[in-house]
A and B are shown apart, each in its own frame.
Chain A
Amino acid sequence: MSVDILMPALSPTMEEGTLSKWLKKEGDTISSGDVIAEIETDKATMEVEAVDEGTLAKILVPEGTEGVKVNAVIAVLAEEGEDAHSVEAKGDAASADAKENTASSDKEESSDDSESKTEQAEAPKAKRLNDPSIPEGTSFTDTTVRDALRDAMAEEMRRDEAVFVMGEEVAEYQGAYKVTRELLQEFGSKRVVDTPITEHGFAGLGVGAAFAGLKPIVEFMTFNFAMQAIDQIINSAGKTLYMSGGQMGCPIVFRGPNGAASRVGAQHSQDYSAWYGHVPGLKVVAPYDAADAKGLLKAAIRDPNPVVFLEHELLYGNSFPVPDLDDHVLPIGKAAIKREGTDVTLVAHSRMVGFALEAANILAEQGIDAEVIDLRTIRPLDTDTVVESVKKTNRIVCCEEGWRFFGVGAEIAATVTAEAFDYLDAPPARVHQKDVPLPYAANLEAISLPDADDIVAAARKVCYVD
């Protein structure tokens, strides 16, 4: 019996990778545990070990192939006594799906992908409608959110010697999610500091360094772990300016992935937008696309106040056009209209903006013209842009990945009700995570998290279509 060797998933969020190198060739004898190939994910290069023994009969995906889907057959192993020349792959060969040696970031949809995977592969892109900071005629380069964040940090570290980055695995490991990739090489270990696993401690240490006038960027491997440090973020970073009558400042950025990743369970999947958004003395930023991630992170690093910068792991690998400007800095506290429309306002932030744009496309086919607002900043909240939009559309759906109770959507709904009551033709609707800890099982996780269909349903409801 021949055995198919499949493209392995090497991280919770990996959907495809580059088969960078075969370390065995056809005809080689393989024992279990042998390293047979190297695979490059968007985070790292990993070795693939053989699980079964036999002879490498056929290599179906040549080295250098990009975009090889997880679980595609990459080679076939002939077992002892089998003719290596006559074996056939039993599963779907990957070669038809993957493109050899192409640099294109276009991704194909495979038929068995779940919806969430489809979204991951094809992040909806919107025209940049109202960014006065980007001059007309500016050219754009497709950049991943990951690289945009990295570039923002590198540019600010070049600009200001007081800026440094610290956190778990930020230096030698090149970042747990590779957001700090190559910063160590450029800036050295004094300014790119690997910390022990000690969130409460290094958050407090960062606050002290900021009180003393440095500008720390504190990376949390994920914001779930920042709960260990939340006292230092709120009580020390957020309140000291006020408690000192304006004497002390805390120019610090707390950044890292926030919200649900993929199949990592309840403790690793939580949206903290509302938590930090609650606190006066903090600024809270949660961008969606790469241009905003870059421009807002640069602004956050320059800001003299503590900024909680909420990224999203499932967006890190997505590419968006980023303006080719020497110094692309965006104002904190300004929402962006990512799609203009007249019938209903969809307000979202972070990854939910992608779902809102997707929902707007679906709604357009149904004759509903939705306007999509990307909040970009949670605190200070740009209520003017939201209220003006509602005055035009008379309907609003507030979308967030977090729980409903006391959430971002609750705040927006209350604001719109107070400031645009006479304009509303329907009660504000909210789309959010179900009110349970995020489950692990794939089907339950999918039910729990909000998506484009939920937004479409809510929009149809406030438009009284259903």
Chain B
Amino acid sequence: MATKSKSTKKAPSKASKAEMLKYYRDMLLIRRFEEKAGQLYGMGKIAGFCHLYIGQEAVVTGMQSCLKEGDQIITGYRDHGHMLACDMDPKGVMAELTGRTGGYSKGKGGSMHMFSKEKNFYGGHGIVGAQVPIGTGLGFANKYRGTDNVAVAYFGDGAANQGQVYEAFNMASLWDLPVVYVIENNMYAMGTSVARHASETELFKRGISFEIEGEEVDGMDVLAVREAGEKAVKYARSGKGPYILEMKTYRYRGHSMSDPAKYRKREEVDDIRSHHDPIEGLKGQILEHGHATEDELKDIDKEIKAIVKEAADFSLESPEPDPSELWTDVLKDVEVA
């Protein structure tokens, strides 16, 4: 129970060439997408709260590789990366950020509130920690229906202090619900470091009194994430109940676009970027194994840039929602028998 994973920075690579290139591509798409979103925010095209995932790409990319059709994903407001990992269309995500009719929520949700039932992405939730009981309910539905699907509920180190998280842990363990809780510990709850907000900073231990297995994982290493994720998902899928993975990760940008991040030193960020970057780390392994050449990776980069450009163009061309949309989707119509 609640063990630290043995995975080191460079996990023994069991991944195939195709898998490693896919993870590289997927992480790069998130990185470039978020950089573009940051740029559009600076231009005033995206407004409100906008929380970028840059630095944390390995977490969602590694976890997604462990899932199968029908498994559900839910997260908080730092959600762009999760949506792209769920194979949602970057155009629809970016157009939601710009508040346009082509967005996943027709422009009515924004950065923090996007969903895709088709891709089993259940949001996109703006209230810190609210997604944890909801995600537990997704697991409850899987068990109720007798499927072997697993729900993955992501939340941050800040949300790990919300009471409802523990209410959910208790029920999930009591009823052996198929839920994997992924704590994305990026070291800061907005501006408050883990040491300043958590009495027990090893968050994978937070399930101990609920008898939930927990594990600490190097969240900057996509293959380490995948290895831990496979174990956790297999455990939940087999009916043994929930599992906690604490992903040690880092966000390069501030909490949101309006956060200057003065609570940490520039050197700290630079050190992680230089020595622990998930994309650079995987790139090194790909080159080391001879899975691709620098030029081939540059081609992937070009391809990703084109996808992101297309998404950005679409998000600016897509019209604002018609004023009549103000009144739609408040309630569903009741079918008359």
Contact = CB atoms under 8 A, between A and B. Distances in A.
Interface stretch (B98-106, B191-199, B253-261): B98-106
Interface string A178-216: 000000000000100001101011111111111111100
A190 B138 CA distance: 15
Interface stretch (B26-34, B40-48, B58-66, B324-332): B324-332
Given A164-B144, A283-B331, A211 B134 contact: yes
B190 interface: no
Interface in A212-268: 212-214, 231-232, 235-236, 240-249
A433 interface: no
B281 interface: no
B140 A205 contact: yes
Given A196-B174, A236-B130, A246 B123 contact: no
Interface string A152-176: 0000000000001000000000000
B115 A248 contact: yes
A205 B72 contact: no
B167 A200 contact: yes
B334 interface: yes
Nearest to B164: A200
Contact of A208 (B122, B330, B332, B337): B122
Contacts of A209: 137-138, 140-141, 144
Given A240-B115, A305-B332, A208 B164 contact: no
B126 interface: yes
A304 interface: yes
Contact of B137 (A204, A235, A243, A244): A204
B109 A245 contact: yes
Which among A202, A212, A281 has the highest number of chain B CB atoms within 10 Å? A212
B116 A247 contact: yes
A244 B109 contact: yes
A214 B136 CA distance: 13
Interface string A288-309: 0000000000010011110000
Contacts of A91: none
A198 B113 contact: no
B80 to A, nearest CB: 16
Nearest to A209: B137
A329 B107 CA distance: 36
B318 interface: no
Contacts of B72: 212
B234 interface: no
A244 B335 CA distance: 21
A33 interface: no
A189 B167 CA distance: 20
Interface string B128-168: 00101111111111101100000100000000000110111
A246 B328 contact: yes
Given A202-B167, A206-B137, A236 B125 contact: yes
Interface residues of B, number: 53
Contacts of A212: 72, 122, 137-138, 141-142
Contact of B104 (A213, A245, A283): A245
A405 B75 CA distance: 38
A204 B108 contact: no
Contacts, number: 156
A244 B133 contact: no
Interface residues of A, number: 44
Contact of A202 (B107, B171, B334): B171
Given A243-B109, A244-B109, A208 B331 contact: no
Contact of A232 (B106, B133, B163): B133
Interface in A326-355: 329, 332
B117 interface: yes
A208 B136 contact: yes
A415 B125 CA distance: 35
A417 to B, nearest CB: 24
A43 to B, nearest CB: 26
B126 A235 contact: yes
B141 A204 contact: no
Interface string B292-318: 000000000000000000000000000
Contacts of A283: 331
A28 to B, nearest CB: 45
B140 A198 contact: no
B106 A204 contact: no
Contacts of B331: 241, 281, 283, 305
Nearest to B134: A208
A281 B105 contact: no
Nearest to A241: B329
Contacts of B167: 196, 198, 200-202, 204
Given A204-B132, A209-B140, A235 B114 contact: no
A400 B217 CA distance: 56
Nearest to B113: A243
B164 A201 contact: yes
Contact of A242 (B122, B170, B330, B337): B330
B78 to A, nearest CB: 16
A437 interface: no
Contacts of B170: 196, 198, 201
B144 A214 contact: yes
B168 A245 contact: no
B18 interface: no
Contact of B130 (A195, A232, A332): A232
B140 A245 contact: no
A188 to B, nearest CB: 12
Given A208-B141, A244-B329, 12 more contacts: A201-B133, A204-B130, A204-B137, A205-B137, A208-B122, A208-B140, A236-B127, A236-B134, A242-B330, A243-B123, A245-B105, A248-B117
- Shortest 8 CB-CB distances between A and B: which pairs? A208-B137, A201-B167, A204-B133, A212-B141, A245-B106, A208-B134, A245-B105, A243-B113
6 contacts: A200-B167, A201-B166, A211-B134, A212-B138, A214-B145, A236-B130
